[in-house]
Amino acid sequence: MGAQPSEVAWQTRAACRGPNTDFFYPPSKAERKSEKIERERRAKEICARCEVVQECLDYSIRIRELHGIWGGLTERERRVYF
C-alpha cells in the first residue's frame, strides 16, 4: 500500500528538488565525519528555507523513514518520534 497522490503533493514544492538532492542522503562510499557534518548542514540549510518543511517532517515520521534528512532532521534526530 503506497502513498496516495494527495499525500505527497507537497513534494513538488519542496526546496530539495533538483540538483541539491545529494546533500540529503549519505554517499554510496564512506564519508569522513567532517564531510557528513557539512553535508547535513547544507541539507538543513535548504530545509530551513523550504515552504513545506513541516509536511515533509510529518510524512517522514508517519512512514517511519529511516534514511536521509527529512523535514530538517537527520535519521538520528527523527528517532525520538518512532
pLDDT in tens, 39-55: 999 999 999 999 999 99
The angle subtended at Cα 26 by Cα 39 and Cα 31, nearest 5°, is 75
Per-residue confidence band for 1, with pLDDT thresholds at 50, 70 and 90: very low
- 41 within domain boundaries: yes
- 63 within domain boundaries: yes
Closest CA to 61 of 49, 51, 73, 50: 73
Cell triple for residue 42?
547544507
Range of the domain at 37: 9-81
Per-residue confidence band for 33, with pLDDT thresholds at 50, 70 and 90: very high
Total tally of structural domains belonging to the chain:
1
- 4 within domain boundaries: no
- 37 within domain boundaries: yes
The structure's pTM equals 0.85
